[in-house]
Structures are given as C-alpha cells and as structure tokens.
Chain A
Amino acid sequence: MKERKIAVKIDDLTVAYNYKPVLWDIDLEIPEGVLMAIVGPNGAGKSTLIKSILGILKPIAGSVSIYGKPYKKQRSLVAYVPQKGSVDWDFPTTALDVVKMGTYGSLGWIKRPRQKEKKAALEALEKVGMLAFKNRQISQLSGGQQQRIFLARALVQNAAIYFMDEPFQGVDATTEIAIINILKELRKAGKTLIVVHHDLQTVPEYFDWVTFLNVKKIATGPVKTIFNNENLTKTYGINYKVSVQE
C-alpha cells in the first residue's frame, strides 16, 4: 500500500471535565481520504474527541494538527456537523439561512454573506435533496430533513476534512442512505471524513477505516483488518459479536 498523507494527527491528547478524564492520552493518525467511523460505548469520549480537535474544548494536555499545522491555522480545511440535538430547532430561521452559516467561516468576522454565498448554499441544498424546503422554518422539518440541512451546511464549507457527530441519529432509512451516498462521494473526491457512529452493524458496509475508542484509544486502522470481535470486546467490555459481511 502506498504511503498516505496524514490528514489529522493527534498526540498525547488528554481531556477532562471537572478533572475527570474523558479522553486519556490519545495518539491517533488519520490518513487522508478515509471514511472513518469512531465507535465506542456511551461516554467513551467520541464527541469530546471531535470537539477537542476543533478547538471547541480545551484539552489539558496534548496537541492536534491538521495537515501538519495547528487547527487554528487550518480552519478553512475543516467542516463540522455537530449533533443534531445540540442546537435549538425552534430558532427563528430558515433552512437556507442555516446552510448559509457554513459560509461564515470563509467570510470571517464582520463581512456578510452575499449572492455568491447564497448560490453556494442553494447548491448544497440541492445536493442533499432539500432545495424545495429552502424557505421552510427549521422546526417544521423532520429529523431526517434537519440532519440533511446540517450536512448541506458542512458541504457548503467545501472543506478537505469533515467531522460529523452522529449524522445518522434519528433519521429515516431514506435519509440514512442519502447521507451515506454523499459521504462516499466525498471520499471519492479525496476528502477525509471522520464520523461518530453508533450502529456497529453498518460499520463494514459504510466505512473503510475505523477507530475504537473508550476513554483510551483501543485500535485504529482499516475496517477489513481491525473490525473484529476482539477489538469490539475490548472496547465495549462485553463479549461482542457482530457479523462482519465480506
């Protein structure tokens, strides 16, 4: 296998909430162009890992680099899809407006979105099949539609690396397929995707790379070689059996 560039490199990352470590001494290299699942039980620190990489949480130790430089210098390369439940969907705004927020990063402080940004947002809405809902108030969207809006908002950032926190949570089957197809398309285009994922059954089908996490890093690598019962048991603590389809 040819040597891949490293998109994200994490060294000795430790994060604590109120002095209780949530992530402990994580070393992780994520190669460019993978579609990677982060799996682990509740409270394993999956969301925390993403938030620390993105500078939303401050680690007590360790460092993170995106293509060799600190995150602060590489913001434009990174898009983020937070958990759907992390925002108030009753906020007075429309689907289009939420997607436009994805352009705010490239605009920087003070400058406002204009025609160009609006056009990009409309294109992203079209990609996720939500163009017809552009003027819909966001509380009037179903869970699956809200998740698509979030995905569109990340697409509009036109990043090289995408971090997604449980994008399949609470979505219907059609949306799940639509989302995974977009993710696979992005990977084909050479993007790196890091996805917090809960449904172990679909890991082999959706992803080519996987990281097992439970406060500490258990394993990371290609799904084909490391997604096995041994690592699952190490991560989830019980004798876990998942039928891995070839």
Chain B
Amino acid sequence: MSNAQIEIQLIASLVAIACAIPGTFLVLRKMAMISDAISHSILPGIVVGFFITQDLNSPLLILLAAFTGIITVVLVEYIQKTGLVKEDTAIGLVFPVLFSIGVILIAKNANDVHLDIDAVLLGELAFAPFDRLLISKTDIGPKSLWVISSILLIIIILLIVFFKELKISTFDAGLAASLGFSPVVLHYGLMTVASVTTVGAFDAVGAILVVALMIAPAAAAYLLTNDLKKMLILAIIFGVFSAISGYWLAHWLDASIAGSITTILGLLFLLVYLFAPNKGVIAVMYREKQQRIEVSLLTFLLHIKNHTEEVERHINHLQEDINWQKIHSKKVLDLAQKNNMIHIQNDIVTLSKKGENFTTKAINYIITNEDSQIENMKKDFFLFRG
C-alpha cells in the first residue's frame, strides 16, 4: 500500500466513526432525514465560507457551514410548529431551497471557485492526500485528515461527557426536562455536532455519502443489539469496515470511492436486515411460523383436554373435525409428542401430566392475562414471547 492509499483509508475510517456517533442518536430519535437535510443545506455555507477563506479546510468555513445546518433545523422546526405541514414536508421544503442557493452561488462564480457540484455530491476522497498541511514547510499529512481528526476528537469528548444526558433526553424527553436536563439544549447540541461532522466529512465523501455513513451503520447496529453502548460500538465498526472495504472495492472496480463505500453500507445493512438473530426478517419469519404451530398445538391440547370420548381423541378425528391438513396435524402431533405432552395408544391421544399442566396454565394465562404465569413458558415457547 502506498502512503496515499493508507491516508485515504484513514480519512474514510475517521469520517465513518465521526458520522456513526451522532448518527446513532439521530436514528434513535427518528430524525434520520434531518441529516439528509443538513448535508444538502450546508452547501451555501460552504460556498460563502470558501469565498471568504479560499480554503475548504478552514475552521471558519466549517463553522459557517455548520451554522447553515443549524439554520436548517430551526427553519424545519419553525415551519412544523405552525401546524400547517408535517415534519417530513417541512424538511422537503427547506433543504432544496438552501441547497439550490448554494448551486446558484457556485454557478455564478464558477470561474474563480474550485468547487463543482460533482465534488459536493460525491466528494473527492481520492484527491484528499494531495492537499497537504504544512507547518513551517514540514509536511504533516493531508489537511482533511487533520480536520476530521480534530472533529472526531471533539465528538468523542462530548459523547463521553454527555452520554448520560444524551441517553435520557433521547429516551424520555419529558423526564429529562423535569430533571433539569434541557432537551432543547441537548437537541441543538446534537444538531450542531451533526452539522459540524457533516461539513468535516463533506469535503472527503460528499453530501450523499455523509447521510449513508450516519444512518446505515446505526440502523444496522440497532437491529443487532439492545444496549446503547454496544449499538454505538457496532455502528462504528460497521462504518469503518465499510470505509475500508469500500475503498478496496473502488480500487478493484476503478470506480468512485464514495459510491463504493455507500454500496458496501447498503449491502451490509441488507445482510443484517435479513440475518439479525432476533429482529432480522428471517428470524421474525421463523418465529411467526413457530407461533402458528404453537397456536395449533394449544388448540389441539385444549380439544383433548375437553373431551373424554375416544372418538374425539382419535388421531384421524383431528383431520376431520378440527379441519386440519394431514401435514399440519402430523406436525402438531409430533410437536406435542416431542414435548412429552401426550401419549398415543391405539391411535387414541391422551394428555400426559405435563400436557395437562401446560394446557391449564396456558388457559389460565389467556383468561387472566396475568404476567406472572407466563415467565416459565416463554423459555419453551415462542407463542408467549410477544
């Protein structure tokens, strides 16, 4: 690997980490779309900042652009508060306007601005190593690496210091307010961090990928864990993994780095969405299938319990009277037998002691709907796991 390659992967990875942290909270606050809005509407801020500073990595430009991000949030909330339109509509109204102001500004000044729309949308990660930071003529690395490192450092410090406050205001804004942790302050704090991160990452990965890096890793992590800290760590791991493998995919395909990273993010989410152990599509389908068969099992056991006549308890009767298909009845019978809930003698079904107990408990639960009964059953049966 050449130095430039290492630097690109390093920048992409740091950007991924910086995005994953605010992204996790945006996903949990159901505000994913606001990151899309911010990433577009900071464009005029960047352009104006660039006119003033002539340097895409200047801290002043970053602050100016981040400020446009905050304005977006304020405008969206203001429009939403009028009650005339819903939040998604408000977002859709605000950011295209701000974005197009940026587009016009670039077009009008195209001659003296080294900014073009392609770079804004997709970033120029491949060129990042060429813009070096020199301190008294010594090369200390690419400018974007320094910019994103500084932003990341600030984000990590803020995360550690305000983790408790972010958690409580995200989970229960009402309680947070009553305890004196102003949800408004935390909300705007998070929005500021999201805006600064977006600007810092913008130059490297562009407006579209910033959104993907904020949302996709957090969304995938959300499906895999029930712990906020683990969700943050997983989101970071997913982000870095996509950044590095995306780089090599681009290398191999000779295509855009930003595009490749986003593709990997999409694929990664798809895999998690399908295969996540509890919340994944396949797990849910399996659980529902199990629940269906268990409902049948319970129906069957109830029937046996309610009838003492042998006719009603004959195996063939299941298909005739309960109106089940042959395969289905066999499955139910097998399941009951596997769980030692029934005895079968000369094709006549009798409940075992365990079956008797289970049925009584299950009916009791269904009638009283009391929580205490259910706990032992949850272990054995999907049906009661909600």
Contacts and interface: CB of A to CB of B under 8 A. Distances in A.
A175 B368 CA distance: 12
Contact of B372 (A86, A105, A174): A174
A137 to B, nearest CB: 4
B231 interface: yes
Given A92-B225, A104-B168, A104-B181, A140 B386 contact: yes
A110 B178 contact: no
A75 B225 CA distance: 34
Interface in B215-229: 222, 225-228
Contact of B178 (A18, A55, A139): A55
B180 A94 contact: no
Contacts of A98: 171
Contacts of B222: 92
Interface string B161-177: 11111011011101101
Nearest to B222: A92
Contacts of B162: 109-110
Interface in B133-165: 161-165
Contacts of A87: 171-172
Given A88-B171, A94-B226, A104 B179 contact: yes
A144 B226 CA distance: 20
A75 B374 CA distance: 39
B164 A104 contact: yes
B372 to A, nearest CB: 7
B366 to A, nearest CB: 13
Nearest to A81: B175
Interface residues of A, number: 39
Nearest to B180: A75
Contacts of A137: 226
A172 B372 CA distance: 10
Contacts of A54: 177-178
A172 B353 CA distance: 29
A109 B181 contact: yes
A88 B374 CA distance: 24
Contact of B172 (A101, A107, A139, A172): A101
Interface string A134-156: 00010110101100000001000
A189 interface: no
Interface string B13-24: 000000000000
Contacts of B385: 140
Contacts of A112: 163-164
Interface string B251-272: 0000000000000000000000
Interface string A166-191: 00000011110000000000000000
A93 interface: yes
B86 to A, nearest CB: 15
A18 B81 CA distance: 9
Q: Looking at chain B, what size class is its interface with the partner chain?
A: 35 or more
A56 B61 CA distance: 36
Given A92-B228, A94-B227, A110-B162, A56 B370 contact: no
Nearest to B174: A82
A86 B171 contact: no
A109 B176 CA distance: 11
Contact of A55 (B28, B177, B227, B375): B177
Nearest to A137: B226
Nearest to A18: B83
Nearest to A142: B371
A101 B175 contact: yes
A78 interface: yes
A2 interface: no
A72 B168 contact: no
B369 interface: yes
A209 interface: no
Given A88-B171, A94-B227, A137-B226, A75 B178 contact: yes
Contact of B174 (A51, A173, A174): A51
A43 interface: no
A91 B170 contact: yes
B14 to A, nearest CB: 25
Interface string A99-113: 001001101111011
A144 B172 contact: no
Nearest to A148: B371
Interface in B71-92: 83
Nearest to A54: B178
16 contacts: A55-B178, A78-B178, A86-B172, A86-B174, A91-B170, A92-B222, A93-B171, A93-B226, A104-B165, A107-B164, A110-B165, A112-B164, A172-B368, A172-B371, A173-B368, A174-B371
Interface of A: 18, 51, 54-56, 72, 75, 78, 80, 82, 86-88, 91-94, 98, 101, 104-105, 107-110, 112-113, 132, 137, 139-140, 142, 144-145, 153, 172-175
Given A87-B171, A88-B30, 16 more contacts: A55-B178, A72-B180, A88-B28, A91-B171, A91-B228, A101-B168, A104-B179, A104-B181, A105-B178, A108-B180, A110-B164, A140-B385, A142-B371, A144-B371, A172-B369, A172-B371
Query: Considering the complex of A and B, which 10 residue pairs feature the smallest CB-CB distances, nearest first?
Result: A105-B179, A137-B226, A54-B178, A56-B177, A82-B174, A80-B178, A87-B172, A142-B371, A91-B171, A92-B226
